[in-house]
Structure 1
């Protein structure tokens, strides 16, 4: 009788283990479609470049629809490597994910909430940047491959080219 009880408990235990849900694997990131060429740059991040004129909102939407986001280029290294690649594609201006939207004019923030102060060394000071902000204006941040590899501010409604950063893990 003792051995049949042990057998019963073993059977119940094994059944419980077999019936338990399998451990969930880490969710795979949503990556850009295979029709979009991505570039792994020396900063270890992947980007894709859309050579089509878009305002800031359309640029953000394009990146999101293609499983990416406008890049946050808040370090000199990130700005330099993306600028170098963009310069090989086309000599125009490209949107990045910073603006003064929803704040006082000229109070720029990156999409991650980090401040982009007016005295940042990332601004193109030789061209008196930033200079497009003011009361009633919505100002967003860009970089130009024509004039220096630094940041500019522009009206968010202006049409520029789009660079997107692929999701981490792509």
Structure 2
């Protein structure tokens, strides 16, 4: 019986030691995991610091670059520089004035001041321009497109690009362009992010864009 007692004690000791080893191993693994997680959080914090520093440097570089463009503009195109220009997110300078001219006079004003009546390149640009223009006036604004010198109903930008009548840039909910059948000259304006055709002799606000030669 004493032998069985000793065996029972031995088994109990083995069980206890095994349990203790298992527990210690579990704690060790948890500690390793904790260290790994702590290390991961540390790396994330380091990346956040690096990203903030990079963004700061990028902002400084962008500001310096814009200052260089302004100096270049002042030297190369003083007429444009003298206007109250707006630097938009695309990195370009625009003039959105309080004046209201007809399309021909608006185009001439831009040309006389080393700018051009804006040639829109994308829907994003329309949205960007309207976001600024609507703070000045919620009315319509002239852009460079027209059918001047072209068959009625065929529109093009002043840089030569076609403006198809089925373009999604037109306000299709209001059947734009609605002067396609007319043989008269019509010019293009925009409002609320969409294009419209309109009689060229009407006085509206207009948007000029500084020419690339100025920067």
Q: Where does structure 1 lack aligned partners over 5 or more consecutive residues?
A: 1-27
| One of 155, 167, 170 as aligned partner of 2:199 | 155
* Pairs within 5 Å for 1:1-170: 29-144=76-191, 148-168=192-212, 169-170=214-215
**Greater RCO (Cα-Cα under 8 Å, separation 6 or more):** 1
Residue by residue over 1:108-162, the C-alpha shift from the partner in whole angstroms, topping out at 9 and shown as x without a partner, is: 0111111100000100111111113433310111002xxx311011011111112
Runs of 4+ in structure 1 off by over 2 angstroms are: 28-35, 132-136
User: What is the number of residues matched between the two proteins?
Assistant: 140
Aligned equivalents of 1:74, 1:97: Cα separation in 2? 11
What RMSD, in angstroms, separates the aligned Cα atoms of the two structures? 1.6
* Greater share of helix: 2
Q: Where does structure 2 lack aligned partners over 5 or more consecutive residues?
A: 1-74
Structure number with bigger Rg? 2
Residue by residue over 1:65-111, the C-alpha shift from the partner in whole angstroms, topping out at 9 and shown as x without a partner, is: 11101001131121111111101111111110111112221110111
* Greater share of strand: 1
Aligned equivalents of 1:115, 1:70: Cα separation in 2? 16
